[in-house]
Structure 1
Amino acid sequence: MNGASKVTMNDPIVKTVYCTGSPYKIGFTHGSSVSAEVHHNVDMYTYFFGETAKITWQQARERAVTRFLPTIERQWPEIIDEMRGIAEGAGGGLTLEDIVTLNVRTEIAFTNYTDGCTSLGQSGGGKMFLAQNWDMIPELQEGMVLLHIKPQGSEIALRFLGEAGIVGKIGMNSAGFGLCMNALRSAALNPSNMPVHVMSRRLLQYATSYDAAVAIIREFGLASSINYVLADKSGKFADIECSPVGTFLIRPENGFVAHSNHFYGLGRPSTLKDHPAADSLTRLARIRELSEDDIRHQVDTTFKTLRSRLSDEQGSPPAICRSVPPGAKGIDRIITLGTILMELTSCTGQATIGRPCEDLPIVDWSF
């Protein structure tokens, strides 16, 4: 596989997996390389489904198989082959149905609960940046993985920071397209549309531009709500809040667009209810303030300056760089698990596992 990945500090605390070949082979390499992490994520989401949706893993599997598996098989049968490969590679009795359940965890749990993420897209100086913190319960950090995938017969390679056993998340491809994603809590659900993590993978594997990504979203629709910051190497970018009842565009202003975990795009119908945590509003206001300050003071946009914004702790513990609130229990123990930075014109990126406001290993990569 073309491209390079290096560690600029100490050894990274995230496994990096290179997968190529047929869908099944990609999945088998994924599953066998991070078997312990796949099983860990099954355990964590068993707990998470119990806390958020009040159902067991077996009940979650039944929902996944009856509501979402037929749609995925109809819309993209090859990704089912990959999920089957993940299950067989991970072993330990895992089945295709278990991996499908992991991949529809948003549709099962996040209609009842939302995590905390802060995303940013910014252009300028001939460069196009995407940046994001991913916040979730601390235990999920042990199941994170950096996946580098080159599908057989495709000229496009893709790389994303994700969760072992899940086929797509936050990343970019060698065509110079990338995405960030933020959870949105809404009860709206349409199992006839594509689940959000499968959609993220579809975009990374097939979108060569912002416009191509928008066309894919329109073609397949979203099974539940998710926010995307989409961008390409030409510098075209925007934020799109997606839901089963429509999409809502947020255009860049002053060269950037930012998002957290609540709807704020225009045109959302009153029937699409939003249930954000209060800190989603304050994190969005703060990342905007920091971005405007950098622009006003003519600070060059670089991985270093973006990381500085994502390291902000104002309003801690539920800050942009989030820490666990004192006395928090269960699913209220949200913390920043990782940061991903991408520059699409050069097809380069960085990932950090942990809170970016701390001194952490930085993993660089390029196509």
Structure 2
Amino acid sequence: MLIVECKGSPYEIGEQHGTAAKTHIDRCIAFYASLFEKTSKLDWSEVQDVASTFEPRIQQAWPEYYEEMKGVAHGSDRPISDIIALNVRTEIAFGNFSDGCTSLAWHTEKRAYLGQNWDWKEAQKENLIVLKIDQPGKPAIQMITEAGIIGKIGFNSAGVGVCLNAIRAKGMDPSRLPVHLGLRMALECSTAKQAVEALESYGMAAPAHILIADPDDAIGFEFSSTTTARLLPDAKGRVVHSNHLLLKHPGVVDTVWIKDSLFRAPRMTELSDALQTTDNPNPTWAEVSRLFEDEKNAPAAICRAQTGESESATLFNILMDLRQKKAVIRMGKPNQVEETVSLEF
């Protein structure tokens, strides 16, 4: 696993990212070029054209993110349109494809767990990197991301963490905040509540669910290109999500594009119900980690395999404890670990 450490101005951070991960970024662009052509009938020049429609808004509303993407482009010797395209890939696809996953936030008496399995095409696994960012006046960030994308899944030195669930529903608004830049914005906040309020203030460009947590709170932030809604913890301090909308969004039709999403969220709730008992009120790290290894309903399980009707596999699991400010990434299926990466502040 490539680990890239960046610090300085937004442009310097981007340039360090682009230089260190140039090979990964090249492969990442090739991966999405092929996928866009297959799923959206867009060649890469057309993808660049769509990405360019986001450029003025990003440059005007979020200039630091634009400068960082310029740095990534320079460091990786790619045009800025390539890097913008990666960072708005969710929006360009208009919901025709996206990553799926099962996520869990769980506050117990002793722990503030946040974790997920990230399920996507196996070919993209080699293009994942760990990005560590140290920028003046903001919390430091540690995340796992697709090379070239400046916001993804991870946590910060204030104890705020984020996970992502893809949602497929019609609608996209390029004047609003792209999903992956929303993940980055949340990771620059000091509390989960502050992060949700920041994202709500801009509105989101395409549908998704971002699970945002800190040492004391967790909020499931569901959104479409026209609506937002907050999913609050249940009586056991949990927020569980997969790849369909759980809350009402007026005027939005959720296609429930991954049918097994309807299975995975209740399955995670069932498994965690069984884990927490009167005799065991504080499940251990190892016990919570095993929740993500479940293969019931295989291959379309919480721990997923890319075979048969299942078009993606679990490429990594991440589990964080936001009170202890530590995380463990297990590459590959979490019951067949290929590599382990530990993160901490």
TM tier relative to shorter chain: over 0.9
Shift of 1:268: 1.4
Name the SS of the counterpart of 2:276 in structure 1.
Answer: helix
**Equivalent position of 1:185 in the other structure:** 168
CA distance in 1 between counterparts of 2:340 and 2:283 reads 18
Matched, 1:54 2:23: no
CA contact (8 A) 2:13 2:68 kept: yes
Q: Deviations over 1:315-352 (max 9, x none)?
A: 110111100123x6xxx630001111111111111111
CA distance in 2 between counterparts of 1:77 and 1:96 reads 14
Q: Deviations over 1:288-334 (max 9, x none)?
A: 111111113626333322220001011110111100123x6xxx630
Q: Which residue among 199, 213, 219 is the counterpart of 2:182?
A: 199
**Equivalent position of 1:357 in the other structure:** 335
Aligned residue type for 1:154? G
**Equivalent position of 2:29 in the other structure:** 42
Name the SS of the counterpart of 2:126 in structure 1.
Answer: helix
**Equivalent position of 1:27 in the other structure:** 14
**Equivalent position of 1:79 in the other structure:** 65
Matched, 1:264 2:246: yes
Aligned residue type for 1:24? Y
**Equivalent position of 2:289 in the other structure:** 307
CA distance in 2 between counterparts of 1:102 and 1:364 reads 26
Matched, 1:221 2:203: yes
Q: Which residue among 262, 277, 281 is the counterpart of 1:281?
A: 262
Name the SS of the counterpart of 1:278 in structure 2.
Answer: coil
CA RMSD of aligned residues (A): 1.4
Name the SS of the counterpart of 2:187 in structure 1.
Answer: helix
- Structure number with the bigger relative contact order (C-alpha 8 A, sep ≥ 6) is 1
Q: Deviations over 1:240-273 (max 9, x none)?
A: 21112111222211221100000011x3114443
Shift of 1:108: 1.2
**Equivalent position of 2:344 in the other structure:** 366
**Equivalent position of 1:171 in the other structure:** 154
CA distance in 1 between counterparts of 2:222 and 2:254 reads 13
CA distance in 2 between counterparts of 1:222 and 1:198 reads 10
Aligned residue type for 1:157? A
- Counterparts of 1:125-140 in structure 2, within 5 Å, are 125-140=109-124
Per the normalisation by structure 2, the TM-score is: 0.96
Q: Deviations over 1:226-248 (max 9, x none)?
A: 10111112x11121211121112
Q: Which residue among 317, 320, 325 is the counterpart of 1:347?
A: 325
Aligned residue type for 1:344? L
Shift of 1:53: 1.4
**Equivalent position of 1:240 in the other structure:** 221
CA contact (8 A) 2:119 2:312 kept: yes
CA distance in 2 between counterparts of 1:128 and 1:110 reads 34
Q: Which residue among 298, 310, 335 is the counterpart of 2:313?
A: 335
CA contact (8 A) 2:191 2:214 kept: yes
